[in-house]
């Protein structure tokens, strides 16, 4: 086998790799005081909704039992605010149904009483979609966390919506499968929320959209009707495939209660390389070459700019530059997954060597198996852990830095970084503009960090960033959804006729508009 130069083989040992990644993802409810921006979104409480009364509470207690009807202020306070602490509601009631029938009864009651509700999974969303805006009843799926079945021949998992993504992945790992999605919030987010927000994440480039992986859903409609679409078949062309309506509709058309999902085999070998590139064009070219040469093996292709890297280094305790001798403009993380360890690794190494010789990468480190006695699985788990923490760390770091304006844009790859470069001179010294994201999917996470939230700065960012994205036929929400934050921005990415049809479908499925109100669609279209 050809031996590449040692430069490419700098070991990503625990000193260099894990130091970057030591901050754990955690909810920060109640730790800091920060201004909330809900008030800045000019929406009035809909007068069509009733207010909770003691009869409602009595009904819920009789049906769910006292302990699943939460009125405790501390618990409500945590559930009323999102992870970023940007959006805060004033709900007085959190319900914890334990099964589909209870969800159905709750919705039937709320619909008949015109009580608005917000479904809540792990509450890890970034657009204010999972918290109340006013006094909506919070329906948490957290108690519905049972794995129902796994078909070990076909890799088809059926589970309740409240299962935490990481728990599902741990369960599957023992059976030789993996979840087809992986994201920073995996330790908290729930599969029902993943489905409802059509979560993307790190392995999208390999396994694609949930629209391709979800085989079936059970959904409770606004009036309490249970829609059993919990199929387990890869192919089923019998009528309209309605499950897709509920994938990505952010709980505004129904509450997902059970999920059937196709899980890929857990392959034996995973390889991970962290690379440095001199410019964005090199990152792009590297992606194109990787698609051609590594093709079916790529499982992640992430990038971050040097400002993003600096942010990690400056704000994460103990983080150190994995390339201490130089500073580079861009960093790329490539993961490959395959079924033949020695071949897969050699293939990645050969590709990286060619890329280095061709000038596409300036430096690089491929993650080695420190302990040669470790099994394939252990290596893979460690690499996954490092990588996930690294990119989780990214979000965590930006949170710590000050106020953060987060944008989640889909753009043609060749245009992807232009918005970062345009935004920098536009905002000048007042803000740090960083870009990172899922380059393989054309998904940029544009983060603008300032000392504190400031409406003048916001006015320089918006609507400019949305208009720019729209001009380049991008999406103003690649994977985060619209939630409350961007409900009235939908027209930047969708045609008027399409939005009109969405509103018609919302009215058809939820005539009283009780499901997650004020989110996804402009309020004006639903009145």
443-450, strands of its sheet edge to edge: 363-366, 269-277, 330-338, 298-305, 432-438, 443-450, 403-410
Binding mask 236-255 for a second copy (x = CB under 8 A): xxxxxxx-xx-xxx---x--
196 touches a second copy by CB under 8 A: no
Using an 8 Å Cβ cutoff, are 186 and 169 in contact? yes
Where does 339-376 show beta strands of DSSP type E? 363-366
User: Which of 199, 349, 195, 328 has its CA nearest to residue 269?
Assistant: 349
Instruction: Indicate the residue among 311 and 439 with the shorter CB distance to a second copy.
Output: 439
Determine contact, residues 162/141, Cβ cutoff 8 Å: yes
Q: Decide: is 512 part of the binding site for a second copy (CB under 8 A).
A: no
Q: Which of residues 340-359 bind a second copy (CB under 8 A)?
A: 340, 343, 347
> Binding string to a second copy for residues 427 to 466, with x set by CB under 8 A, is what?
-----------x--xxx-----------------------
Subset of residues 5 to 24 that bind a second copy, contact rule: CB under 8 A = none
Residue from 13, 339, 378, 471 that binds a second copy (CB under 8 A)?
Answer: 339
Judged by CB under 8 A, does residue 96 bind a second copy? Answer: no
- CB closer to a second copy out of 17 and 196: 196
Minimal CA–CA distance to 102: which of 47, 46, 154, 62? 62
- Only one of the segments 32-40, 109-117, 146-154, 316-324 lies at the binding site for a second copy (rule: CB under 8 A); that segment is 146-154
Burial of 429: CB neighbours in 10 Å, binned 0-12, 13-18, 19+: exposed
- Asked whether position 4 contacts a second copy by CB under 8 A, the answer is no
Residues 165 to 194: which contact a second copy by CB under 8 A? 176
Residue from the set 84, 93, 420, 521 that interacts with a second copy by CB under 8 A: 521
- Specify the stretch interacting with a second copy by CB under 8 A; choose among 1-9, 87-95, 422-430, 489-497: 489-497
Q: In angstroms, give the least distance from the CB of 488 to a second copy.
A: 12
Give the interface segment with a second copy, choosing from 101-109, 420-428, 447-455, 476-484 (CB under 8 A). Answer: 476-484
Measured at the CA of 526, the angle between CA 41 and CA 476, to 5 degrees, comes to 50
Q: How far is the CB of 304 from a second copy (least distance, A)?
A: 18
- Within 374-433, which residues bind a second copy (CB under 8 A)? 410-414
Cβ distance to a second copy smaller for residue 197 or 450: 197
Indicate which single residue of 265, 318, 358, 359 sits in contact with a second copy (rule: CB under 8 A): 265
Task: Record the tokens describing residue 159, joined without a space.
Answer: 């589970």
Q: What number of other Cβ atoms are within 10 A of residue 385's Cβ?
A: 12
Nearest distance from residue 349's CB to a second copy, in Å?
Answer: 14
CB of 478 to a second copy, least distance (A): 4
Tell me which DSSP letter residue 460 carries. H
Number of residues that bind a second copy (CB under 8 A): 91
CB 113 within 8 A of CB 50: yes
Residues 6+ apart with CB under 8 A from 295: none
What is the C-alpha separation between 163 and 167, in angstroms, rounded? 7
Q: Which stretch binds a second copy (CB under 8 A): 36-44, 200-208, 386-394, 446-454?
A: 200-208
**Binder to a second copy among 126, 227, 308, 384 (CB under 8 A)?**
227
Q: Which CB sits closer to a second copy, 220 or 319?
A: 220
> Nearer to a second copy by C-beta: 98 or 494?
494
> Considering the rule CB under 8 A, would residue 294 count as an interface residue with a second copy?
yes
Which parts of 191-249 fold into alpha helices (H)? Answer: 191-196, 204-207, 210-213, 243-246
Between CA 479 and CA 210 the distance in angstroms is 11
The span from the CA of 516 to the CA of 505, in Å, is: 15
Q: How would you classify the pairing of strands 117-120 and 137-140? A: parallel
Q: Could you tell me the two tokens for 5?
A: 């130069």
CB of 498 to a second copy, least distance (A): 6
What gap in Å lies between CA 381 and CA 445, rounded to an integer?
A: 26
> Of 40, 148, 288, 314, which lies in the binding site for a second copy, with binding defined by CB under 8 A?
288
Determine if 526 is a binding residue for a second copy (CB under 8 A): no
Q: What is the DSSP letter of 124?
A: -
Site membership for a second copy, residue 477 (CB under 8 A)? yes
If binding is defined by CB under 8 A, does position 228 make contact with a second copy? Answer: yes
Give min distance, CB of 364 to a second copy, in A. 20
Nearer to a second copy, 46 or 443 (CB): 443
Residue 229 backbone dihedrals phi, psi, to 5 degrees? -120, 35
Q: Does 234 bind a second copy (CB under 8 A)?
A: yes
Nearest to 214 by CA among 171, 258, 274: 258
Task: Check residue 118 for interaction with a second copy (CB under 8 A).
Answer: no
Least distance CB 274 / a second copy (angstroms)? 23
Distance from C-alpha of 118 to C-alpha of 133, rounded to nearest angstrom: 9
Q: Where are the beta strands (DSSP E) in 156-211?
A: 156-160
Under the binding rule (CB under 8 A), the answer on residue 226 touching a second copy is: yes
499 contributes a contact to a second copy by CB under 8 A: yes
**Distance linking the first and last C-alpha atoms of the chain:** 68
Asked if residues 340 and 358 have their Cβ atoms less than 8 Å apart, the reply is no
Question: Where in 45-89 does DSSP place strands (E)?
Answer: 69-70
Q: What is the DSSP letter of 238?
A: S
Cβ proximity to a second copy, 20 vs 172, nearer residue: 172
Q: Tell me the closest approach of the beta carbon of residue 215 to a second copy, in angstroms.
A: 10
CB of 93 to a second copy, least distance (A): 28
Contact by Cβ (8 Å): 180, 213: yes
């Amino acid at each position: 086998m050809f031996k590449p130069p040692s430069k490419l083989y700098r070991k990503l040992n625990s000193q260099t790799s894990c130091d970057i990644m030591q901050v754990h993802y955690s909810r920060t409810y109640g730790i800091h005081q920060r201004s909330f921006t809900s008030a800045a979104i000019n929406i009035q409480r809909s007068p069509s909704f009733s207010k909770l009364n003691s009869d409602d509470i009595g009904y819920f207690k009789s049906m769910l039992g006292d302990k699943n009807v939460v009125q405790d202020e501390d618990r409500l306070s945590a559930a009323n605010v999102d992870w970023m602490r940007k959006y805060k509601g004033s709900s007085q009631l959190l319900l914890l149904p334990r099964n589909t029938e209870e969800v159905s009864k709750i919705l039937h009651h709320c619909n008949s009483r015109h009580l608005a509700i917000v479904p809540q999974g792990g509450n890890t969303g970034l657009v204010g979609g999972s918290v109340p805006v006013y006094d909506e009843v919070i329906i948490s799926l957290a108690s519905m966390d049972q794995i129902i079945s796994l078909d070990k021949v076909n890799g088809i998992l059926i589970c309740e919506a409240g299962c935490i993504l990481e728990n599902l992945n741990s369960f599957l790992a023992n059976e030789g499968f993996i979840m087809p999605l992986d994201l920073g919030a995996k330790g908290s987010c729930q599969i029902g929320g993943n489905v409802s927000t059509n979560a993307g994440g790190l392995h999208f480039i390999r396994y694609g959209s949930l629209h391709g992986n979800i085989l079936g859903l059970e959904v409770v409609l606004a009036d309490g009707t249970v829609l059993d679409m919990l199929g387990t078949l890869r192919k089923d062309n019998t009528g309209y495939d309605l499950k897709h309506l509920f994938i990505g509709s952010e709980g505004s058309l129904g509450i997902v209660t059970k999920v059937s999902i196709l899980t890929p085999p857990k392959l034996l070998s995973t390889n991970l390389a962290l690379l440095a590139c001199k410019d964005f064009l090199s990152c792009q070219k590297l992606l194109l070459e990787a698609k051609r040469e590594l093709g079916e093996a790529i499982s992640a292709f992430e990038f971050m700019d040097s400002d993003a890297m600096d942010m990690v280094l400056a704000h994460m305790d103990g983080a150190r530059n994995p390339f201490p001798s130089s500073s580079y403009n861009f960093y790329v993380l490539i993961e490959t997954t395959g079924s033949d360890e020695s071949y897969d690794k050699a293939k990645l190494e050969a590709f990286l060597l060619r890329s280095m010789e061709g000038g596409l990468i300036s430096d690089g480190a491929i993650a080695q198996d420190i302990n040669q006695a470790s099994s394939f699985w252990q290596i893979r788990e460690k690499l996954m852990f490092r990588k996930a923490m690294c990119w989780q760390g990214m979000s965590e770091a930006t949170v710590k830095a000050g106020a953060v304006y987060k944008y989640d844009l889909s753009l043609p790859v060749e245009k992807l970084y232009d918005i970062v470069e345009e935004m920098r001179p536009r905002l000048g010294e007042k803000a740090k503009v960083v870009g990172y994201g899922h380059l393989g999917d054309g998904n940029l996470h544009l983060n603008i960090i300032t000392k504190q939230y400031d409406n003048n700065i916001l006015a320089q960012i918006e609507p400019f960033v949305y208009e720019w994205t729209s001009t380049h036929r991008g999406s103003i929400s690649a994977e985060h959804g619209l939630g409350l934050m961007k409900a009235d921005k939908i027209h930047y990415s969708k045609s008027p006729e399409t939005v009109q049809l969405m509103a018609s479908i919302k009215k058809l499925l939820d005539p009283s508009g009780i499901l997650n109100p004020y989110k996804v669609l402009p309020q004006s279209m639903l009145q």
